[in-house]
A and B are shown apart, each in its own frame.
Chain A
């Protein structure tokens, strides 16, 4: 018999956390015994429960513990089990696989916060003169001999706080909204962006080329130039079509003013890429006065941190595009530090890639004309994402109006 004592603390009755955890244990095929239970006497006094989890084998115990931890269960008072990485780029067998929720590990009787939390990584523990340090690292960062947390013992995960009833997002729920009042939703997004900036946190914008195709680029530009956006993630396409628009007035060869495809217009994007390659890059093109407007130009002028990540179908690409996906992930990982709100607009791949890197504490909005993108993102563990199904041009126009003033 394999057992582990877990404790639950907080408003676990009103939030139904206790019922949920017991349900999860039953569903996971393990048994339990409630060892102690103290109910808070008033609404604001927390309750406390100790539960012994009893499993037929170690594997189902670990699986059950891993599940309940994500809902706030703390496993005993054991220290985390640390094992060295057997070789570069490989975690030790049985490594603890992270979620994007705030996580702590217990080492020498102290709970240490895990830095740079993101999902599907390992927890590397190091010791320096000031004490122990725990950080979340992707597989390829592991170096032979690095110490990693193995198993669920000594790991605590803070569940997402329940959304307050009066929260601006309450009416949106976590569902993908199709038939909700759009203008009110944009107002809620604007409020979140404003509050994030006021707190001194960064605003991340992840965008796809549809922003340019639909004529929404000027609204995004306005947001960037006004200082609302700190970090931009995109691919070769957004940057290319934005630059094509500035240099030729077309997006994928279609004149944005008239909506009519231009003769030889299909060549414009490649000519645009060539021009930027000749200049040496986007920043150089801006400095040389070759690129005088658009989203990418605005980013250079406003000092926005840009990461362009490449893909297999890219033309060119622009010299600024990082074509090694692992390197691109690392650049994104670096750039999401300090981000408080993420806006993911009209892009599937980059949204998912970014969702993978973000802690659950980052308020995430996914805006797409297609509900599938939003569903994909939430299915992959970015439960904090609010989905808004709408045209990106409408969304960006309204958002710019809310944040910069109507013009």
Chain B
């Protein structure tokens, strides 16, 4: 059974604007956000062992645990180094949780922004990594050394899909689901050459269809992505839509709320 890390949304809020989705005049409905998180949590719990990290009042985005770091081996984690000062206060909280749970914590050099599993995803024989928006190429090189695996760099070209996990998810070790419009032509070629691919249409990519969590044969997907849902169901997957509207206001959905500790 997979093991994942989540963070309850006690202090979730929208207090700054650091991506194309965040608008201070469009704040999340917090009680509704709690309900939506709870729904996701219950579904994830059915399929994986869930660890919880305590939320910190000064970190409204700590719920997005995918950005905490990247597991690079047995009880070894590469901690994130957030690009924006607004999220940097999360780093010590995540560090403490990992240390308390027996992880060896590695960090990136100071001038090397890296946002964890938001930008580097396990994809079978190798890892796929996004850059230009949050994580930089230097982080791919360093992560590859820790991972002892190939890491393929993919350029993100649209501000609305600012983390790799907002534009792509790995369905199985040979199949990638992605929104082509988020990537430059080289990145698309790299993806096409290494994987069987399914495409997400733009309107569903804007509903965070790519920010889905795959656990075995089940896909937890933001609500409203009916075409991708029917495509995956035709392929034999169980798709569970989860309402995510309040987290999308901050530019995140299912996958951003979950970090994989073990697959």
Q: What is A's interface to B at a CB cutoff of 8 Å?
A: 197-198, 200, 222, 225-228, 230, 286, 292-293, 297, 300-303, 403-407
How many Å lie between the Cα of A292 and that of B175 in the bound state? 12
Candidate in A222, A228, A302 with the most chain B CB atoms within 10 angstroms: A302
Give chain A residues whose Cβ lies under 8 Å from the Cβ of B196.
286, 297, 300-301
Is B227 touching A227 in the complex (CB atoms < 8 A)? Answer: yes
Is A407 touching B227 in the complex (CB atoms < 8 A)? Answer: no
Not counting A227-B231, A292-B193, A301-B196, a sample of 18 additional A-B residue pairs whose C-beta atoms are within 8 angstroms of each other reads A197-B230, A225-B197, A226-B198, A226-B227, A227-B228, A227-B234, A230-B234, A286-B196, A297-B196, A300-B196, A302-B231, A302-B235, A303-B234, A404-B201, A404-B202, A405-B181, A405-B202, A407-B180
Is B235 touching A303 in the complex (CB atoms < 8 A)? Answer: yes
A230's nearest neighbour on chain B, judged by CB, is B234
Give chain A residues whose Cβ lies under 8 Å from the Cβ of B205.
405
Known: A227-B227, A227-B228. A407 touches B175 (CB 8 A): no
Among B175, B199, B227, B235, contact of A222 (Cβ-Cβ < 8 Å): B199
How many Å lie between the Cα of A84 and that of B193 in the bound state? 59
What is the distance, in angstroms, from B57's C-beta to the closest C-beta of chain A? Answer: 40
Interface size on B, residues (CB 8 A): 22
Candidate in A222, A227, A405 with the most chain B CB atoms within 10 angstroms: A227
Residue B200, interface by CB 8 Å:
yes
Is B181 touching A301 in the complex (CB atoms < 8 A)? Answer: no
Is B228 touching A407 in the complex (CB atoms < 8 A)? Answer: no
Question: For the complex, would chain B's binding face be called helix, strand, loop or mixed by DSSP majority?
Answer: helix
Give chain B residues whose Cβ lies under 8 Å from the Cβ of A302.
198, 231, 234-235
How many Å lie between the Cα of A121 and that of B202 in the bound state? 43
Give chain B residues whose Cβ lies under 8 Å from the Cβ of A404.
199, 201-202
Is B226 touching A198 in the complex (CB atoms < 8 A)? Answer: yes
Give chain A residues whose Cβ lies under 8 Å from the Cβ of B198.
225-227, 301-302
Give chain B residues whose Cβ lies under 8 Å from the Cβ of A286.
196
B236's nearest neighbour on chain A, judged by CB, is A303
Is A227 touching B230 in the complex (CB atoms < 8 A)? Answer: yes
How many Å lie between the Cα of A228 and that of B235 in the bound state? 13
B228's nearest neighbour on chain A, judged by CB, is A227
Residue B192, interface by CB 8 Å:
yes
How many Å lie between the Cα of A286 and that of B174 in the bound state? 11
How many Å lie between the Cα of A197 and that of B227 in the bound state? 8
Give chain A residues whose Cβ lies under 8 Å from the Cβ of B226.
197-198
Give chain A residues whose Cβ lies under 8 Å from the Cβ of B193.
292
Residue B100, interface by CB 8 Å:
no
Known: A226-B200, A301-B196, A301-B197. A407 touches B231 (CB 8 A): no
Residue B203, interface by CB 8 Å:
yes
Among A225, A292, A297, contact of B199 (Cβ-Cβ < 8 Å): A225
Write the B101-135 contact mask toward A (1 if CB under 8 angstroms, else 0): 00000000000000000000000000000000000
